[in-house]
Chains A and B, each alone.
Chain A
Amino acid sequence: MSFADRLLRRADLHSLAAPYALDALEPAERLRFEKHLKTCDSCAAEVRALSEDAVRLAWLTAAPPPAAMRDRVLAAVRTTPQESAGWESARARAPQLPPHVWGAQPPPRTRAPRTRPLLVPFATATAAAALVVASLFAVQADKTQDQLDAQQAQASEIANVLAAPDARAAAGEDAQGRTIGVVASASEGRAVVTLSGYGELPSGRVHQLWLMRPDVQPRSLGLFDADTPLVASGLDKSATSLAVTVEPDGGSPQPTSQPVVQLALKSVGFGE
């Protein structure tokens, strides 16, 4: 490529700054321009300014959202882990965020093909379900391929629960601000449970989930693996609450300690 050609090509790329700020590029062009942005400081500054201008157009469109949306979003937030600002987790989100939102150095987009297709089948799930599915992607960032494969298998199982027409979300918080979140379907007797804020247990200890029913011994629903959501099945309608205890590795047949957290299931359709 001659120097003149390179200049022309550069000028051509520069002219894409305004369409880029308006999100008016086709995907291939968007990629090409984003690649160019990494090497062009003046373009990055210009795109930032033009994007600020474009955002002003949004002042015209504000509209009150449906009231129910608030409950769904807030419930989902209680069951959704957050990402750190670290580079590794930024990688997983890269395909959805323009680089000027990220900063000067957009992370590579290698994980995109793995995470995107998963979203597709969930598009028709109930709104609450779709929201909680997002928590799955949040924890995928730092996983190896094998872990991702295992997680994908688990994800489709979880998707079944979330897609049930009667899937509902609930969450509880203890005095220290640690939370337990659940999305459950009473008709399918299944639930997806997430713990957050409980941190690492000492080695040899594990969080075990119990189903509590009136006049019956607690039944084990499984062991938590760090921040991965736990899928529990066989929940009968008489279930009144979920409880979590700290148990020795491998779990116990019956709880050996007081629950660290307990969550009533009435609001998600159980307790009949």
Chain B
Amino acid sequence: MEADELLVLVAGGDQKAFEELYGLVSGPVYGLVRRVVRDPAQSEEVAQEVLLELWRSAAKFDPGRGSALSWVLTLAHRRAVDRVRSARAAGERERREALRANHPAFDHVTEEVEAGLEREWVRRCLDRLTALQRQSVTLAYYDGYTYREVAERLSLPLGTVKTRMRDGLTQLRKCLGGVA
């Protein structure tokens, strides 16, 4: 069964459906959170919160507004970013320096993941972006930086970063075309 159908059953309190849904989304959720948060223990905590929230809030999912997986991953990304920012704000300077050292972010992703058809597509499409588009998008999405921080790190004006982010995302959409 697809995630969308399962989520509807989960909204009705179906625990078996949740188990099945867990099988489908836990990998994407955990991997995304882990990529943004980095710390394994904290990643696990955030991923668990997200998955439990999925159970609690399943009734809020509206299939007319997008796929279940998008809904889940949007939520997971927001939570992961919130966590990594509060960790940074709490003064984890060392960690921040370590992140800087990992620049650019995209290279790091390439090392970590295994091959897969969808992955291959996304990676190819990311490769086709200009360097600034790619860095603007990946520093924000994978590393949880605000666009101001991205501008600072790339020594670009704010307006340019906002434009590169938009162009990067729309180019990605065109390149991926019907792949969904």
Taking residues whose C-beta sits less than 8 angstroms from the other chain, chain B's interface range is 35 or more
Interchain CB contact under 8 A, B56 and A80: yes
Interchain CB contact under 8 A, A82 and B55: yes
B172 within 8 A of A: yes
- Name the interface residues of A13-52: CB closer than 8 Å to any CB of B: 15-19, 21-26, 48-52
Given contacts A55-B70, A102-B60, is CB(A131)–CB(B48) below 8 Å?
Answer: yes
Indicate which residue in B44, B60, B138 contacts A66 across the interface (CB closer than 8 Å).
B44
Interface digits, B49-78 against A, CB 8 Å rule (1 contact, 0 not)? 101110111111010011001110111111
A138 within 8 A of B: yes
Interchain CB contact under 8 A, A63 and B27: yes
Interchain CB contact under 8 A, B58 and A63: no
Indicate which residue in A23, A49, A69, A102 contacts B48 across the interface (CB closer than 8 Å).
A69
- Which B residues lie within 8 Å of A81 (CB)? 56
Interchain CB contact under 8 A, B22 and A74: yes
Interface residues on chain A, number (Cβ under 8 Å): 62
- Most chain A Cβ neighbours within 10 Å, of B59, B148, B169: B169
Q: Complex: how many Å from CA A15 to CA B166? A: 8
Given contacts A60-B109, A80-B55, is CB(A18)–CB(B75) below 8 Å?
Answer: no
Interface digits, B73-92 against A, CB 8 Å rule (1 contact, 0 not)? 11111110110000000000
Q: What residue of chain A has the Cβ atom nearest to residue B55's Cβ? A: A77
Given contacts A15-B162, A59-B122, A74-B22, is CB(A65)–CB(B44) below 8 Å?
Answer: yes
B170 within 8 A of A: yes
Given contacts A53-B169, A134-B49, is CB(A197)–CB(B62) below 8 Å?
Answer: no
A93 within 8 A of B: yes
Interchain CB contact under 8 A, B165 and A18: yes
A54 within 8 A of B: yes
- Which B residues lie within 8 Å of A19 (CB)? 140, 146-147, 161-162, 165
Q: Complex: how many Å from CA A57 to CA B134? A: 11
Least Cβ–Cβ distance between B176 and chain A, in angstroms: 6
Least Cβ–Cβ distance between A108 and chain B, in angstroms: 16
A90 within 8 A of B: yes
A144 within 8 A of B: no
Interchain CB contact under 8 A, A25 and B77: no
Least Cβ–Cβ distance between B64 and chain A, in angstroms: 9
Q: Complex: how many Å from CA A173 to CA B19? A: 15
Q: Complex: how many Å from CA A138 to CA B30? A: 23
Q: Complex: how many Å from CA A197 to CA B59? A: 16
Interchain CB contact under 8 A, B145 and A50: no
What 18 new A-B contacts, CB under 8 Å, besides A23-B78, A63-B30, A93-B53?
A18-B169, A22-B137, A23-B77, A23-B144, A50-B169, A53-B169, A53-B173, A56-B122, A60-B122, A61-B31, A65-B27, A69-B48, A70-B26, A74-B22, A83-B56, A103-B62, A134-B53, A177-B13
| Interface set of B (CB-CB < 8 Å, partner A) | 11, 13, 15, 18-19, 22, 26-32, 34-35, 44-45, 47-49, 51-53, 55-60, 62, 65-66, 69-71, 73-79, 81-82, 109, 112-113, 116, 118-119, 121-123, 126, 137-138, 140-142, 144-148, 150, 159, 161-163, 165-166, 168-170, 172-173, 176
Query: What are some 11 contacts across the A-B interface (CB < 8 A)?
Result: A18-B166, A19-B140, A24-B141, A54-B169, A59-B116, A61-B109, A63-B112, A73-B22, A90-B60, A93-B57, A93-B60
